[in-house]
Amino acid sequence: MSLDKFFEPRSVAVVGASRSPGKPGHVIFRNFFEGNFKGKVYPVNPKARELFGQKCYRSVEDIPGKVDLAIIVVPASLVPAALGQCGRKGIRHAVVISAGFKEIGNAELEEKVKAVARKHRMRLIGTNCIGIYDPYSGVDTIFNPRYKLERPDKGNIAYISQSGAIGTVMLDWMAMKGYKISRFVSYGNETDIGADELIGYLSRDRDTKVICAYFEGIKDGRKLFDVARKLSHRKPIMVQKGGITKEGSAAVQSHTGSLAGSEEVFSAAFRQSGIIQADDMEEMFDFARLLSTQPLPKGKRVQVITDGGGFGVMAVDSIIRNGLELAGMKKKTLRELKKALPPYFIIKNPIDLTGNAESWHYEKAINAAMEDPNVDMIMAIVLFQVPALTPEVTSVIAEASKNSRKPIVVVASGGRYTEVLKKCLESSGVPCFSYPARAANAMGVMYNYAEYRKRRG
Amino acid sequence: MSLDKFFEPRSVAVVGASRSPGKPGHVIFRNFFEGNFKGKVYPVNPKARELFGQKCYRSVEDIPGKVDLAIIVVPASLVPAALGQCGRKGIRHAVVISAGFKEIGNAELEEKVKAVARKHRMRLIGTNCIGIYDPYSGVDTIFNPRYKLERPDKGNIAYISQSGAIGTVMLDWMAMKGYKISRFVSYGNETDIGADELIGYLSRDRDTKVICAYFEGIKDGRKLFDVARKLSHRKPIMVQKGGITKEGSAAVQSHTGSLAGSEEVFSAAFRQSGIIQADDMEEMFDFARLLSTQPLPKGKRVQVITDGGGFGVMAVDSIIRNGLELAGMKKKTLRELKKALPPYFIIKNPIDLTGNAESWHYEKAINAAMEDPNVDMIMAIVLFQVPALTPEVTSVIAEASKNSRKPIVVVASGGRYTEVLKKCLESSGVPCFSYPARAANAMGVMYNYAEYRKRRG
């Protein structure tokens, strides 16, 4: 059975919709009622008559129309009964937000949930999860209010997380940074649907170009790695694994009630199945942003263009440290650039446009690097703070990046002025990094992925 | 001769003050004229009559009163003459912003500058630098306008940088984050004053608690390491070194015209002289913020308090990976906490207050950890996004941190709502980190520094 109805239901029932603003059931109902969701949403709560002027139903069975998806937000002990009603109503998809199952030692109740689902041939996301955020359809089961936790825009990075807290916090951060998303799923205890099935689904999803995942334990390692091996050369799959030390693994058990396993075993399995492993969340999205927006590089020769010498030095260090090389542009290119640019600029690698840089200097240098056959990738360091540089430089770079067959990244650090301009660049599909080391790290991973894809044909 | 006059001059001459807003000499004069500087500022420019209604002098020698400090912003070729005039006027301190000396191969001109300074017993910061920012006195020779590059508030972290771009960009970033500073110096070519002398000066500076430095080349390694060895157990000294690969080292030469040297040699020398080496800028300030605000820990046992299980797992992993240990609180403490807090909270290490956390839960848990003798440090993970948590939790933590003899750090990630609250905490002297790994890394460094200090007596 397809998982489509989770992401594109035409009608949703919120079982446990609540009138009190602090309650998850309240926030989730509002997400559908006030948000971008175009379908029907039904509140279910036997104790309320209406919610926001909508009639409240005692049970899903009382809802007149068809319901594609149920969101369950009732106390754990009431979940089996609620799912039973959904089953009788003919609902085949449910997101169970409720917690209080095997993660607190209550395996018996979790088995009961599983049995009810099986009986009604119902597919579940959860238990003990945050559920789904889909910016395209407007499905949003996140129970943190939007003023505290912003939602990212429509994009092509899919992101699944076992941990609800990590998942939602990262969405909030992504929204601030201007990073975009295709689908988000926090899947918690994997009572039914697990990471393997979600990754399989997302690999066929047309809106998704790369897949990111945060795992703690893994329910069925063999299935997961099989799926990954089959798909990883088509769409990049990036993973951060929590619970890698012995002590961390113990902490996982009292979190999602799953086994974490040893660091070495997982790293080897990730590598063998073509999964890109990230050390932390920021790194995972560094990789994802680069791979989802830029073409794969033909080789590993990087041209650096900078308006700050110190950043150029850091860039060179980090390019070498990440197994990449400094590009050596053709003599002709260098000669022409020297002619076109002021005489005190340093035209080698890095090209140093100095603190006197202007937008048209970047344009000349970037276009030259784009054309030169000795360059595979471009790192443009743009310190927006230098006196003569105007914000138009963002358009210059976005334009150059648009139809380019070479990857280009921007490195820019600073305060609020800089952050605003970086967000503009991100929206135009140009990945921005705060430091050369992070950019070079992601470029190294991208180069390795390009090589992996060549090997897999 | 003391360097005091660089940081607390009573009168300043801006040689090369300009009327055109894009010019460094314009921005610098405005910094003094419109900023917090309490002393006198004289514009010097033979081509202008007045600037902002201030009389403009043809030469510093025409200024009627005494001048403590000259800022030189004229083309490189005019610098020797300008310094000669300063010398005759009796000025003994000058910041030379002008570039175009040994960094572009013009060693001869740099020698000339040096000779003039020696002749007049004048001390120089620069050449080829951004100069000084002192939030206490209002000295600000940064030629990037404030709307593009914000300035951080008064604090106790001193920061010196060979690279002007890196230095100023970091100031901009610090201002956005709410990190504070005591003195900033970008010292460029070290024509006269070098890193060793600045570190010596800052180690005696009462407003400075920790010293951060970005180096590329080092003029006199022996002097620098001697100074560091003598002082590093009194005030922590943190360094990031640029130009560590062979290729990076070559890039340094065409930047500040100095030799960079090999990675291994420097790392060993840093270690032996008690300097804390950081891999990147963010890491350097992670260390600095922790060491400048928190008491040194007695041991390495960390108690984690969280409202997100996944973040707890990441915290445990990173505590172990950084050579620290999980604290085991006394049975009595655990019993009392269990009684005081809701029954579904997990009271071990991590303490998991779950997504239902409220401010008073943090208060109970933090106070218990503060009192328990089995705890040396506290990592409080605060996901501000959970529904029932109000912003008051920041006051609770600031209060607990205030007179504590144990270090406490906060980990919080997210978007704008979270960033605002983190800035509040930073202002109250509580260091905040975006991820457990970064917090644990800094805590590990802090613990090692505490041990180093014990050994040095």
Average pLDDT over residues A396-421: 95
Percent of chain A, pLDDT > 70? Answer: 98
Report yes or no on B137 lying in a domain.
Answer: no
Nearest of A151, A153, A119 to residue A136 by alpha carbon: A153
The DSSP output letter for B3 is S
**Separation of alpha carbons B244 and B242, rounded Å:** 6
| Of the residues A249, A277, A293, the one at which a domain ends | A293
Assess whether pLDDT exceeds 60 at residue B31. yes
How far is CA B212 from each of CA B182, B241, B263, B348, B381, rounded to the nearest angstrom? 11, 11, 19, 37, 27
Do A322 and A271 fall into the same domain?
Answer: no
**Separation of alpha carbons A302 and A409, rounded Å:** 11
Average pLDDT over residues B187-209: 95
Question: Of B143, B176, B319, which has the smallest distance from its Cβ to A415's Cβ?
Answer: B176
Which range, of A98-112, A125-139, A235-249, B178-192, averages the lowest pLDDT? Answer: A235-249
Assess whether pLDDT exceeds 80 at residue A257. no
Q: What ipTM goes with this model? A: 0.88
Do B21 and B122 fall into the same domain?
Answer: yes
CATH of the domain at A190: 3.40.50.261
Q: Which of B109, B300, B313 to mutate to test binding with chain A, by most A CBs within 10 Å of its CB?
A: B313
Interval B91-120: pLDDT, tens? 999 999 999 999 888 999 999 999 999 999
Average pLDDT over residues B263-291: 91
Please indicate whether, in this complex, the C-beta atoms of B310 and A251 are within 8 angstroms of each other. no
Do A255 and A123 fall into the same domain?
Answer: no
Enter the tokens of residue B72: 């030189």
CB-based contact (8 Å) between A181 and chain B?
no
Average pLDDT over residues A201-212: 97
How far is CA B346 from each of CA A321, B80, B365, rounded to the nearest angstrom? 42, 70, 11
Q: Please report the pLDDT score of residue A242 as a whole number.
A: 86
Do A248 and A314 fall into the same domain?
Answer: no
Interval A232-242: pLDDT, tens? 999 999 999 88
Assess whether pLDDT exceeds 70 at residue A1. no
Interval A130-173: pLDDT, tens? 999 999 999 999 999 898 999 999 999 999 999 999 999 999 99
Do A50 and A112 fall into the same domain?
Answer: yes
Assess whether pLDDT exceeds 70 at residue B254. no
Q: Do B395 and B425 contact (CB within 8 A), yes or no?
A: no
Residue for token digits 């206490």?
B136
Which range, of A29-43, A57-71, A259-273, B302-316, averages the lowest pLDDT? Answer: A259-273
Torsion sign across C-alpha atoms B353, B358, B359, B360: negative
CB-based contact (8 Å) between B314 and chain A?
yes
Q: Please report the pLDDT score of residue A195 as a whole number.
A: 94
Do A32 and A79 fall into the same domain?
Answer: yes
Residues of A in contact with B176 (CB under 8 A): 414-416, 419
Do B110 and B47 fall into the same domain?
Answer: yes
Do B307 and B449 fall into the same domain?
Answer: yes
| Predicted confidence band of residue B259 (pLDDT cuts 50, 70, 90) | low
Q: Please report the pLDDT score of residue B256 as a whole number.
A: 59
Task: Determine the residue of chain B that is closest to A186 in CA distance.
Answer: B310
Going across the sheet that includes B69-72, the strands are B40-44, B11-15, B69-72, B93-96, B123-126
Do A104 and A8 fall into the same domain?
Answer: yes
Other beta carbons less than 10 A from residue B119's beta carbon: 11
* Full-model pTM: 0.91
Enter the tokens of residue A16: 């446990």
Average pLDDT over residues A46-72: 95
CB-based contact (8 Å) between A143 and chain B?
yes
Question: Of A147, A164, A250, which has the smallest distance from its Cβ to B417's Cβ?
Answer: A147
Do B10 and B62 fall into the same domain?
Answer: yes
| Predicted confidence band of residue B257 (pLDDT cuts 50, 70, 90) | low
Strands A184-186 and A131-133, by their bridges, are: antiparallel
Establish how many alpha carbons lie within 13 A of residue B144's alpha carbon, considering only the half-sphere containing its beta carbon.
33
CB-based contact (8 Å) between B173 and chain A?
yes
Task: Determine the residue of chain B that is closest to A312 in CA distance.
Answer: B251
CB-based contact (8 Å) between A256 and chain B?
yes
| Predicted confidence band of residue A243 (pLDDT cuts 50, 70, 90) | confident
| Of the residues B243, B265, B293, the one at which a domain ends | B293
For chain A, how many structural domains are there in total? Answer: 3
Q: Please report the pLDDT score of residue A320 as a whole number.
A: 96
Do B71 and B109 fall into the same domain?
Answer: yes
Query: DSSP string of A430-455?
Result: --EESSHHHHHHHHHHHHHHHHHHHH
Query: DSSP string of A123-160?
Result: EEEESSS-EEE-TTT--B---S-TTTS--PPB-SEEEE
Report yes or no on B134 lying in a domain.
Answer: no
- Measured in angstroms, the CA of A1 and the nearest CA of chain B are apart by 30
| Of the residues B246, B267, B293, the one at which a domain ends | B293
Q: Do A406 and A375 contact (CB within 8 A), yes or no?
A: yes
CATH of the domain at B101: 3.40.50.720
Residues of A in contact with B415 (CB under 8 A): 149-150, 172-173, 175-176
The number of C-beta contacts closer than 8 angstroms across A and B is 245
Domain membership of residue A319 as a residue range: 296-456
Please indicate whether, in this complex, the C-beta atoms of A280 and B435 are within 8 angstroms of each other. yes
**Separation of alpha carbons A447 and A440, rounded Å:** 10
Enter the tokens of residue B137: 């006195």
SS3 for A201-269, per residue? HHHCCCCCCEEEEEECCCCCHHHHHHHHHHHCCCCCEEEEECCCCHHHHHHHHHHHCCCCCCHHHHHHH
SS3 call for A390: coil
Q: Please report the pLDDT score of residue A252 as a whole number.
A: 76
| Predicted confidence band of residue B260 (pLDDT cuts 50, 70, 90) | low
Assess whether pLDDT exceeds 80 at residue A457. no
Please indicate whether, in this complex, the C-beta atoms of B320 and A27 are within 8 angstroms of each other. no
Please indicate whether, in this complex, the C-beta atoms of B22 and A386 are within 8 angstroms of each other. no
Higher pLDDT, A224 or A304: A304
CB-based contact (8 Å) between A282 and chain B?
yes
Do B417 and B303 fall into the same domain?
Answer: yes
